Chains A and B, each alone.
Chain A
Amino acid sequence: MDAAVTSAPTPATHPVPATGPDGGTAPVASPSGAGRPPRAAGRTARPHRARRENLAGYLFMSPWIAGFLLLTAGPMVASLYFAFTDYNLFDAPKWIGLDNFTEMFGDPRWRTSVEITGWYVVIGTPLKLAAALGVALLLNQSRRGQGFYRAAFYAPSLIGASVSIAIVWRAIFSDGAAVDRTQQLFGLDAGGWIGDPDRIIYALVALTVWQFGAPMVIFLAGLKQVPRELYEAAQVDGASPWRRFWHITLPMISPVLFFNVLLETIHSFQIFGSAYIIGSQGNACGPADGTLVYTCYLYIQGFENSRMGLASAMAWMLLLAVGLVTAVLFWSQRRWVHYEEGAR
């Protein structure tokens, strides 16, 4: 039985406890730990060579380091400065203190974009994770053609972020197209979703939920790691499937769940491409600002209205907000994420 569990394919890196050979659980080796004890010995014996190896290592990393400093860190520092200036890309930035932030908070369109992004995160993320977990549970049973199903459910995650899919999505949800006609079969004649500023956001939610494959694979890996004897013991005690899910599966995979919640939430805040493509015909991120997610408005201010200072301030506000949400999630995990002893 153990052989069946451990031989199942699992991704190389995931923060879940591995099943030990004795049937119990043992902590996964940390990346810097057990794997390389001899190297540590060599370092103390031949410091000169170690330094040279270090240098070589940094040289090999230099393209990445240069890229990071020039293309990520540099622009970030610059944008922090721009956030406090009036900057139209052409003339030198003019220091205006907190004016960008004052303007931002007083701008009704900015509040609209915060609202829409908030809705998108709050509705889209749980639905996507629920779909991912549900399908992962179904796929966790051994059945013929499993590999095929897994690949089939994963495929949308690979292609879902592409421009072509967004265009297809727009077509499917238009007035008189597939979704609209299906609705009409059920007597819901409401027109398409694309022309309706209040409903188009749900087309975006549907698109993200459809891409549940990536978190699903991570859930599957987590499910494979739950010791089978826990279920056997529970079954002997007469626990219903629901109780087994609630009291064994969920606590055991809670680290994976936490990981997925964190990743998907951060990811959701950054939605841009699908909103921009599905929403923009004539007016960017329309109709009537129906898909004006935060990054879309940032883009409009920066590149359409040439207000790079304001756009920089908006970008830093987004970073702060995502940082805050991440901090809250990390704080909350103490209450609901269950780590095996020693695995922390």
Chain B
Amino acid sequence: MLKVAGGSLATLGLTAAGCGTGSGSGDGTVTLRYSWWGSEDRAKRINQSIALFEKKFPKIRIKTDFQPYADFWKKFNTQASGGNAPDVFQNAIGFLRKYDAKNVLLDLREQAGAGNLRLDGFRAGLERFGEVDGKLLGVPVGSNSMALVVDQAVFTKAGVTPKPGWTWDEYHAALARIQESQGRAGDAGPYGIMYLYDLYLRQQGKAFFTTSGLGFTEADLTDWWTKAAARVKSGVYADPKKTIPAKPKSAVTAELAGCEFTWDNFAVRYTAEGKSSYGLAPIPTTDGRKTGQYLGSLMLSASKRTKYPMEAARFIDFMVHDPEVGKIMGYDRGVPATEAQYGAYVPTDEVGKQIAAYEKQLVESRVLEPITPHPAGADVCEAAFMRLAEEMSLGERPVADAVKQYFTEAKTALSS
């Protein structure tokens, strides 16, 4: 009987050992854990890319794991707090400072110096996007930017053609025309999108965040949400009681609204989801010129506790530079960050062409500016912004109350 007990303890021991980050085996083969957020479609493309990588580097195996965005970060946070973060993982600007402060992110500079990770050949200075306080915490795989996704049939019927530099007044007049001509709400409702409000603030020389706190006042937000509440009421923005149950389908493809703001690389999804044809329109401006836009990007980061920093760096290098991977991934992760991958993939579908044209126009028209800093706690601020905007739009909370609550929650999030 002691044997039995001993056996079960040994099993426990084995299980505990199996939890360690990565693992090597006798023949020198190394296994890296790689996780990302995204859809089934992205998973297919990534698995194809990994197959290529494993062929080229037979001594490195990649074990994958993926979830939708919000679930990904919950799982990652729990893993990282237990000292068990995946060796390589997808990352974004909003999380760099947060996890750097918690000692989770590997400074890839050393690996780059050792020649395991190339930092040349990036478009538009993207290689600097993952830098925080002189450390290289992430390497961009693609760039994206906010855009207005429009249902083209609806816009044509309303006789509206958005042009670069159009103003918020013109945008709202267009929404009203859509509502009048087709009885459909003009926009799904931009009031809860932190990244759009950031652009609106940047047009006025402010920003959503400073390096340590919020970059706007209660009066700013009160103004933005008061106008939004009136527009939800009048039907220019879609009724949240209809758009919420329609999720995960977008309000535009569910034919509840004529357009909505989102990241340009998401446009791929609309064509798959809805019946109409969809296009990208420019961000409205305050002064007829400045959109406040910057290029954002998905990145790849490595864990500070990985046992195989060299292999992790090689894998990141492959995913970022390899032209074959560029062909497989397309614009799924945004427009490819490196010249090699950008050149390898020429979009043939309508949406891909539009995304390429949209970002090309952004770069050429020189509207792009440096990115807004994202202090630790930015992710919690984004979730609270979305939630309180929803409560406000449903009439569950008066605007003044929602604004006050937002500042309370943001203060807590940014100070912890």
Contact = CB atoms under 8 A, between A and B. Distances in A.
Interface in B184-213: none
Contacts of A289: 387, 391, 396
Given A288-B397, A305-B413, A195 B244 contact: yes
B383 A88 contact: no
Given A283-B383, A303-B74, A59 B5 contact: yes
Given A62-B8, A89-B78, A287-B240, A194 B245 contact: yes
B317 interface: no
Given A192-B245, A306-B77, A90 B102 contact: yes
A111 to B, nearest CB: 13
A147 interface: no
B394 A197 contact: yes
A286 interface: yes
Interface in A282-296: 282-284, 286-289
B245 to A, nearest CB: 4
Interface in A61-107: 62-63, 66, 86, 88-91
A41 B173 CA distance: 93
Interface residues of B, number: 37
Interface string B247-273: 110000000000000000000000000
Contacts of A283: 383, 386-387, 390
A288 B389 CA distance: 9
Interface in A187-215: 191-192, 194-197
Contact of A175 (B242, B396, B405): B242
Interface residues of A, number: 34
B405 A108 contact: yes
Contacts of B245: 170, 174-175, 192, 194-195, 281
Contacts of A5: none
Contact of A282 (B1, B9, B247): B247
Interface in B79-100: 80-81
A184 to B, nearest CB: 15
B244 A194 contact: yes
Nearest to B75: A303
Given A59-B4, A303-B77, 15 more contacts: A59-B1, A86-B416, A90-B102, A174-B246, A175-B242, A195-B241, A195-B244, A195-B245, A197-B391, A281-B245, A282-B244, A288-B396, A304-B383, A305-B413, A306-B416
A108 B396 CA distance: 14
A56 interface: yes
Nearest to B413: A305
B10 interface: no
Q: Is the interface of B mostly helix, strand, loop or mixed?
A: helix
B380 A304 contact: yes
B70 A191 contact: no
A191 B78 contact: no
Nearest to B247: A281
Given A88-B416, A288-B390, A288-B394, A196 B247 contact: no
Most buried by B among A62, A66, A88, A287: A287
Nearest to B383: A304
Contacts of A170: 245
Interface in B1-57: 1-2, 4-5, 8-9, 12
Nearest to B102: A90
B8 A63 contact: yes
B5 A62 contact: yes
B378 to A, nearest CB: 13
Given A59-B4, A62-B5, A305-B380, A89 B248 contact: no
A32 B385 CA distance: 59
Contacts of A284: 70, 383
Contacts of A175: 241-242, 245-246
A332 to B, nearest CB: 36
B193 to A, nearest CB: 11
A191 B240 CA distance: 12
Nearest to A170: B245
B255 to A, nearest CB: 12
A192 B240 CA distance: 12
A307 interface: yes
A195 B386 contact: no
Interface string B392-416: 0010110000000100000001001
Contacts of B386: 282-283
Given A90-B102, A305-B380, A195 B387 contact: no
A196 B244 CA distance: 9
Contacts of B397: 288
A196 to B, nearest CB: 6
Nearest to B70: A284
A287 B102 CA distance: 32
A191 B243 CA distance: 12
28 contacts: A59-B1, A59-B5, A62-B8, A63-B8, A66-B8, A89-B77, A90-B80, A91-B102, A108-B405, A174-B246, A175-B245, A192-B241, A194-B244, A197-B394, A282-B247, A282-B390, A283-B390, A286-B387, A287-B240, A287-B394, A288-B396, A289-B387, A289-B391, A289-B396, A304-B380, A304-B383, A305-B380, A306-B416
A115 B78 CA distance: 29
Contacts of B396: 197, 288-289
B383 A195 contact: no
A177 B220 CA distance: 39
A228 B397 CA distance: 58
Interface in A257-291: 281-284, 286-289
A116 to B, nearest CB: 13
Nearest to A173: B245
A56 B81 contact: no
Please name the 8 residue pairs, one residue from A and one from B, whose CB atoms are nearest each other, closest first.
Answer: A89-B81, A281-B247, A195-B241, A174-B245, A288-B391, A194-B245, A90-B102, A288-B396
Contacts of A282: 244, 247, 386, 390
Nearest to A66: B12
Contacts of B81: 89-90, 306
Contacts of A66: 8-9, 12
Interface string B204-241: 00000000000000000000000000000000000011
